[in-house]
Structures are given as structure tokens and as C-alpha cells.
Structure 1
Amino acid sequence: MVNRGHFRVPLSARFLLRKPSSNAITLYIIFIFAFSVFIFLFYARNIVEDEQKPLISVESQSEKVPDEQLSDAPFSHGLHTCVKPTSKYKASQGSNRYITVRSNGGLNQMRTGISDMVAVAHIMNATLVIPQLDKRSFWQDSSVFSDIFDEFHFIESLKGDGYYEEMTSLWNDYQVIHVPKSDSRLANNDLPLDIQRLRCRALYHALRFSPPIENLGKKLVERLRSRGRRYIALHLRFEKDMLAFTGCTYSLTDAESEELRIMRVNTNHWKVKVIDSTEQRRGGFCPLTPKEVGLFLRALGYPPSTLIYIAAGDIYGGSTRLSELTSHFPNLVFKESLASQEELKEFTNHASQTAALDYIISVESDVFVPSYSGNMARAVEGHRRFLGHRKTINPDRKGLVEIFDKLETGELEEGSSVSYMVQQMHKNRQGAPRKRKGSLPGIKGRARFRTEESFYENPYPECICSSRRQT
């Protein structure tokens, strides 16, 4: 029989139903409060630490940059050279009309000018005579065409594009057009595809250097490779003529600045005589100094052991000014230390021929860094793009000057934060494939041509194609 009036409460239930004492409640509250304080302090510490960290950790930037990242070429996306004529191209038929030309300027100005004149001769269906070289420029080089270039190869390479002869064949017929200067004869853009490709064939195939230059250039590259697996070619354009031309006197003594001013005033074909050096530098129009180049390379992550070939003439200020670079990068090499005096003897007093050696070594380098965007820098960059977009780091001089000035005034300190700034500034300035830039918007008339990127600085897309296109 079941007793419905009474029931047993289990022991556990009886325990739960007991009214807790005041002491137990106090202990429970103290425990909860202490645990809450611990949790708050733990998360508060993490929040403070997170606020002190940048969005991208600066500490991670101070780690050693991998060698591959410092030297490997950008991804080329399957692009390759394409200079063969299209099916619409009409080979030269020859004529009794002749074009003679005096190529002006230094080596690279002459090379691009000659390539342009090859195209001009084809357009005019005229015979281009072997060009005369400039002997009156700053370098006073007495070299003739065959001293610098392989003349026979030049003629044979362009047989289908025009006839190339010596001056002696002209005396029987005087139907001649003479061009006193070869530079800036063709536009960068909007020319027929076959004319653009002809310019590339002339520059990259036909204008091969003479055998003595080619042979020594290859030897010097091999010697550099034997010293270190990889090397940087630095075109350090801190030379007297360039500093005088640009009016850049930053870091120079008063006597040096005056010497350059007098040189600029006395050079007739330099139109601008009075230049504000400070404004030039702020605008990014000055070559980087040896000291600034050292800061730049360190910020990019290159170690002091980096092998650097200096592709340049005499540095203004000599070894004293160059020491600002060698103190951080002692492994510098010049052609005078790489080649013997006997090997360089035949090139002595021929600036264009020694410049050709620098050109070969620069094109073949793992990394090319120009301190200024002159003719040499643009020509080498374009050639390296043509050969597969080899790594070329083009300094943002205007942006770098702002950083350098802050370092000088103490607003910034050299280290991981500066390295991060410089690396971010140059991540898209390392020679990766891109189409040539046109003129700036809003500029009309002839002025727009001056804002275009040079065809020889970037021959893409006319002379560089994707794997899907026919060559």
C-alpha cells in the first residue's frame, strides 16, 4: 500500500534545498569578483599590446630579406620577344637616295638615335650611310663606327630593311639628305607595328658591339660571377657633367658648386643657366649621392657583403665622396680593378668604348640600379625588359629625398621602420612587365611627347608579346 500523504526527499535534493549561510555567500561573491578582475587584467594587457603594434609588424620587417627576393627577376607572365616583321611588311627595294647622319651625344644617345634613323631611312625608302659618330661632345671621343660597333654585322642584319654603305660610294651621286643630329627623330607611340619592331631589330640585334668590346665585356662578367654568384650593377651618375647639367649641388662644397655653375654657363647647348638646386632635389630631378645610394640599398635589405659593380666614369669628389658608400658596402668593383691595365689599354681615352663595357656588364647583372634616369639608365632598363624583364630597381628619388631629409633632421631613425617605408615605396618599381606609359592627361601639342615614357625604355607591347601571339 502506498502512502500518498508523505514522500521522501533524496539526500542530494535536501542538500540543495538548504538555505546557504551568509559566510558562504560572502566567499562566493569574493571568488567571483577576484575571477572577474583576473579576466579583465588579462584581456586589458592584450588590448594595450595590440594597440601598440602597427597594422603590419615593423619587427617582422627587420628580419633578413631572402636572397631570392633581393635578386630574382619579376614574374614575366610568359612574355617573350617578338621582332619579326609582320606579313604586311615591305622589304626595302633600294634606291639612289641617301641619308647621312651625325650621331650626337654619348654612347646610348647615339645608339637609340641610329636605331631611329634606320627606321627613318626605311620610311623614306632611302639608303642609310654608316653613321658618323659625335667627336665634339663632352667626352671628346675620336672613335668611328667600327671602333664601337660590329659594322659588318650591322649591314648584314639589316639587308632587308635598307642598304648601308660607306661614304665613298656617294661621290657619283649627290642626291643626299644630311641629318646633323640623330636623337629624338621618331615618336614613342602611334607608329606602325613594323616600324616599331624595326627599331628593336636595329637596337637589340644589329647594333652589336665590336668584337674587342664584346669579348672583354663577357670576360668581366665571368670574373664578377667568380667572385660572387650574384652582383648588382649600380649606375652611379654622380659625375661632373651630369651634376653641372642638372644644377644639383646638394652635399657639395662651395668651390665645387661654383665650378659646376661656371661649366653650365659656358656650355652653349645647355639652355638653362640658372637652376635652384634645392628645388631640383625636392622634385626628384637630381642623381642620388653615394651616401643616399648606400642608405637606399640598406633599406631594401641588401647586406654589406653585396657585390656591387660601379658602372660610371669618375665620381665627382673622388674617393672621399665615394667613401660614404664604401663604408657600408665595401665590396665595390670598378672595371679598372676587374680588368688589367693591358686589357683596358686600347680603350683608354675612348669614353664611348668604356661605356660600352659598362653597358654589357649592366645588362647581364642580376640587379640593375640607376641613381638617375638618364640615357644609359633608360637604355639598360629597356634592354633588360626585352631580355625577359630582368630585375631593375628604379629609385623614387622624390619620395626618397623626403625620407633622407627626415633622417638628417632626426625626425626618423634608420632601422626597420625606414626599411619598411622604402620597400613599400619600391615594390612596384622593380622591372615587372607593364605596357609603356603614354603622355600625361590634359597636356596638348608637342609638350605631351616630353611626358611619355621612352620607347627604348620599355618596348612593350610592340616588341614583347604574350605566348598566345604569333612572332
Structure 2
Amino acid sequence: MVNSRSFPQLRNSTTRSKFLLPKPTPFSITLYFSILICFSILLFFFSTRQIPETEPKLLPSNESQEEQLRDQELLGAGNVGFHPCVKPTSRYKEAQESNRYITVRSNGGLNQMRTGICDMVAVARIMNATLVIPQLDKKSFWRDTSKFSDIFDELHFITALQKDVRIVKELPKDLESVPRARKHFTSWSGLSYYEEMKHLWEDFQVINVVKSDSRLANNGLPLDIQRLRCRALYHALHFSPPIESLGKKMVERLRSREGKYIALHLRYEKDMLAFTGCTYGLTDAEAEELRLMRENTNHWKVKNINSTEQRNEGFCPLTPKEVGIFLQALGYPPSTLVYIAAGGIYGGETRFSELRTYFPKLVFKESVATLEELKMFANHASQTAALDYIVSVESDLFVSSYSGNMARAVEGHRRFLGHRKTITPDRKRLVDVFDKIERGELQEGLLSSIVKQLHKNRQGGPRKREGPLFGIKGRGRFKTEESFYENPYPECICRSKKRVDAP
């Protein structure tokens, strides 16, 4: 008799034996894990390839975006669509050998001499003459004994212009003792004037030019003469290798500190204040010192100057304090790195402290270059001014407190290089703003909007060079024209093309 209770047990046992897996072997285990690893690798590979398409890119934070927009607004990168164009036209012919010579005594500070030298290059071209390397001014306020080769790369200057004008280092020995025509060429003269001056070659083989500044007109000259002036200034008249080398190092060091910086040409120097008769904010003793300096400087013709009238007409440099107020009103934060491109500021640290209240991060040549590096340039104002020039041209923003030769030259160079941002203060209108602040008449919050509105079109943007002031007649009108070297557009700056047009 079969036990009924044992049947289910037997059935379960049969079922288990029917589906029992074979005992795993070492080979099967190894194969299993190999397949699993390969599958995992393939899965990882395909999933990572899909990440850029399936996951959104990380966007900068709102704070980063605002900071980028602010930098773009405050420290612009220039204007696209403009480039230097200084190649000669198809009508231009290479310079010919000439046995007539022009010698030059350049006058003024560094940039007055630079632009004057380039005028003389053009004059030599017009008069079919050989230009002797100019002698530099050693009698100006700075008493700089530098020779041409101390400041400029003499060999580069000669070779870069060899197709335009023949240039020699010295007058030939056999001509050193011959009579020379000593000429004060008329300021702002055009092509016809210098064509007429060729009659001097009938009696002289050498013309000695006593002054070099502003010898050519700003406007109305042939295109090839204008472009020659630009080639001379921007491509030929390089600074000497030691100056160029240190200048570039200073720019790199400034960028390594903050990334971006402002170059401020603070023309609050003793000679400028004495020359313009500007004494606002000075003590009585300082004002008297400046008056005596003006009185005793023979070539300064105007002796009695009303300081208040000068300031109200916008003829005075902004004071360091006024510059601080101005830049703050434009929106520049106190953390902005400001390089002071200037000589000795009148009043020294007392005046600097007024600016440092607004912008604590003030730096100077002495804090960017070492004393050892600056040693070779000591007591040579034009050479140290050349360092300031390089730093200023390469800055993210250039601001000048007065529209002197340095300010005009830097602005023109920055326009030539793509209209780099350059703010020119409207000094005449700012006087009223500053005076209202002093009297407490300007409501809080209005200062920034007023200053920004006044200067929205004074930031180095593309525009044609301005002509003479309306109503001025005679030769005096030429003096009121905007300097060619301040704005070489349109002759040396062209639209549309992206490439740089080098000679």
C-alpha cells in the first residue's frame, strides 16, 4: 500500500531534480564575468558620448554676466570694421637720390618732437630732399640731453622709410661748412607752400629747419602725403629697443595684477599749471611760485592770466580730486587699477591723496618697474615719457586730464589701432558740475547720469577729423582744427576690411 503522504514529497523532489542547474565550472565563471565587464564598458562609452547632446552647458552666473557687461561698457575693446590703411596709392613713386639736404632742430617735449619729425619726413618728400636725422630739443623745460638714438630706433627709422625719403645719420663732411638757408617754415602750411620753397635750392644745398612742430596742415594735403605721415609715426618711428622692452614688460606686469587697467595722463605738472595760469585749489604760495615761473620763462608770451576765466573756459587741467569724482561718476569702481602716466605732480602726495580717496589702487612707473630697470632712463624725461606712452597706448582705457601733446598723440595712436576706448573729459562743462558739488546744489544720484550723458560721444569712437571753428578767419583758423595726429581718420583708417594694411 502506498503511503499517500509521501506522494507530494516525491513530486517536489522530482521537480527540483528536473530544473537543477549544472554545477558551475571555473571556465564558466570566468566567461560570465568577462561578458559582464565588456557590457559595462560599452554602456559607459555610449552614455558619455551622449552627455554633450543631452545635458545643457553650464551658464555663467548672473553676477558673472553683469560683470562681463560692465567691463565691456567701461573698458571697451574698440570698434570692429575699421583697420589701418597706409599703403601708397598706385600713383606714388619711390624716393630718388638727392644731393639736397634738410637738417632739423626738433622742439618741445617727446610727443611734440615725434609729430614734428614726421612732418619733416613729409616735407623732405615734397621738396625732393634727403633728411638728416633730426637733433632733439635739449633746452625745453625738461632739459633732456637724449640723442635721437637714445629715444628712437634709428636704423629702423631709416630703413622703414627708404622707399619714401632718403634719410642719413649725418650731413656729409664736405657740406658741414657750406652756407645754409635757415628757415622758420610757416605753421600749418600746405603742398603749394612747400612747392614754392623749392626755390631755395637755387642758392642753397642745405636748409636748416629751426622748428619742426606743426609745420604741415592738418587737412587738404594729398592722400599719399597723409599716409606717409602715418607710416612715419606708427611704423617707422619706433622707440629704442631698451625702451620698447621695458615698456612691454610693464604692460605685462600690470595685466598680471588685475587683468585690466586704466592709464591716466594726469597733466597736473608744474610747467603746465604755470603755462596755463591755473591755480584753482592751490595755496597762495603755490600760485605765486607758478606766476614767477611764467614770468621768467621768456618764450611763454602770455604773462598775466586770470585763473578763474581760464578754468571757466575749460583751459585748465582737471585736478586729481576732480579726476577721481569724474571717473567714479562714469561708473568705475574703487577696485580699478589706475596707472599714472605723468611726471612729477605739483603738490606731490598731498594731491595724490585726493585721488586715492576714490581709487586706492594707484600705480606709477616706480611701482611697476624696478629701480634697476629705471636707472638707465633716470634724468631723461623724454625716455621715461616714452615708457608712459607705451603703457598708455596698450591700456584698456586711456583718460587725460588735459588735451596736451601727449594726450593727442596717444588718442590718435589708439584710434589708428582700432579706436581703443579713450575718454576725453569735457572740462568746460565739468567745471559747472564740480562747482555745484562744492556748493551742495547737485542732488545725490544725479551726478552719474549727468557726467555719463556729457561723455557718451567722447570715448574714442569712429568719426572724421574736425575742421576749424566756425567764424574764425585767416590763418588763425588752422590752429583751431583738430590735429591730424589726434585723429588720422579717414586718410589712414579704412572701413570694412578686417586685415591690417601694412606698408
Letter in 2 for 1:450: K
Given the alignment, which residue of 461, 464, 471 partners 1:432? 461
SS at 1:302's partner residue? Answer: coil
What secondary structure, in the 3-state scheme, does the structure 2 residue paired with 1:411 have? coil
The aligned counterpart of 2:302 is 272
Following TM superposition, by how much is the alpha carbon of 1:75 offset from its aligned partner in structure 2, in angstroms?
3.1
- How do residues 226-241 of structure 1 correspond to structure 2 at under 5 angstroms? 226-241=256-271
Residue deviations 1:73-110, cap 9 Å, x none?
3434x111100100011221121000000110000000
What is the aligned partner in structure 1 of residue 82 from structure 2?
79
1:444 is matched with which residue? Answer: 473
Amino acid at match of 1:130: I
- Structure 2 distance, partners of 1:171, 1:107, is 32
Task: Note closer, same or farther for the CA distance 1:172–1:317 as it changes in structure 2 (3 Å cut).
Answer: closer
How many Å apart are 1:124 and its aligned residue?
0.2
Question: 2:71 — aligned with what?
Answer: 67
* 1:388 counterpart = 2:392: no
CA shift, 1:391, in A, is 0.1
Instruction: Name 2:129's counterpart in structure 1.
Output: 126
Are 2:373 and 1:370 equivalent residues in the alignment? no
State the SS of the aligned residue for 1:96: coil
CA distance in structure 2 between the aligned counterparts of 1:451 and 1:469, rounded to whole angstroms: 33
State percent identity of aligned pairs: 75
Deviates more, 1:156-165 or 1:63-72: 63-72
What is the aligned counterpart of 2:102 among 99, 102, 106? 99
**Distance apart, 1:328 and its partner CA:** 1.5
Whether the 8 Å CA contact 1:74–1:430 is kept in 2: the answer is: no
Contact 1:106 1:137 in 2 (8 A): yes
Aligned to 1:257: 287
Q: Deviations over 1:261-304 (max 9, x none)?
A: 00001111111000000000000000000000000000000000
SS of aligned partner of 2:311: helix
Q: Gaps (5+ residues) in structure 1?
A: 1-62
Q: CA deviation at 1:416?
A: 2.3
Q: Secondary structure at the match of 1:309?
A: strand
Provide structure 2 residue ranges, at least 5 long, that are not aligned to the other structure: 1-65, 179-204
Please identify, of 161-170 and 175-184, the stretch whose mean Cα deviation from structure 2 is larger: 161-170
Deviations 1:135-155 (A, max 9, x none): 000000000000000000000
**Residue 54 (structure 1) aligns with:** none
Instruction: Compute the displacement of 1:417 (Å).
Output: 1.0
TM-score normalised by the chain length of structure 1: 0.85
- The equivalent position to 1:185 in structure 2, one of 205, 208, 215, is 215
Aligned residues: 407
2:305 paired with 1:301:
no
Confirm whether residue 138 of structure 1 aligns to residue 141 of structure 2: yes
Tell me which amino acid in the other structure corresponds to 1:152. L
RMSD: 1.5
TM-score norm. by structure 2 comes to 0.79
Matches within 5 A, 1:150-229: 150-172=153-175, 174=178, 175-229=205-259
Instruction: Provide the C-alpha distance between the structure 2 equivalents of 1:150 and 1:91, rounded to a whole number of angstroms.
Output: 22
User: For each residue in 1:385-406, what CA deviation from the matched residue of structure 2 results, as whole angstroms up to 9, or x when unmatched?
Assistant: 0000000000000111100000
Q: Could you give the per-residue CA deviations for residues 186-242 of structure 1, whole angstroms, max 9, x where no partner exists?
A: 000000000000000000010000000000000000000000111000000000000
The alpha carbon displacement at 1:68 in A equals: 1.6
Tell me, yes or no, if the aligned pair for 2:83 and 2:498 is still in contact at 8 Å.
no
SS at match of 1:75: coil
User: C-alpha separation between the residues in 2 aligned to 1:94 and 1:104?
Assistant: 28
Q: Measure, in 1, the Cα distance between the counterparts of 2:429 and 2:117.
A: 35
Q: Is the 8 A contact 1:281 1:398 kept in 2?
A: yes
Q: Does 1:286 find its partner at 2:316?
A: yes
Q: Following the alignment from structure 1 to structure 2, what is the Cα–Cα distance between the partners of residues 468 and 308?
A: 34
Aligned to 1:37: none
CA distance in 1: counterparts of 2:73 and 2:249, whole angstroms: 27
Q: Secondary structure at the match of 1:202?
A: helix
Separation of aligned partners in 2, 1:91 and 1:265: 49
Q: Does 1:457 align with 2:486?
A: yes
How far off is 1:172 after superposition?
4.2
Mapped to 2, the partners of 1:347 and 1:378 lie a distance apart of 24
Deviation at 1:467, TM superposition (A): 2.3
Q: SS of the residue aligned with 1:304? A: coil
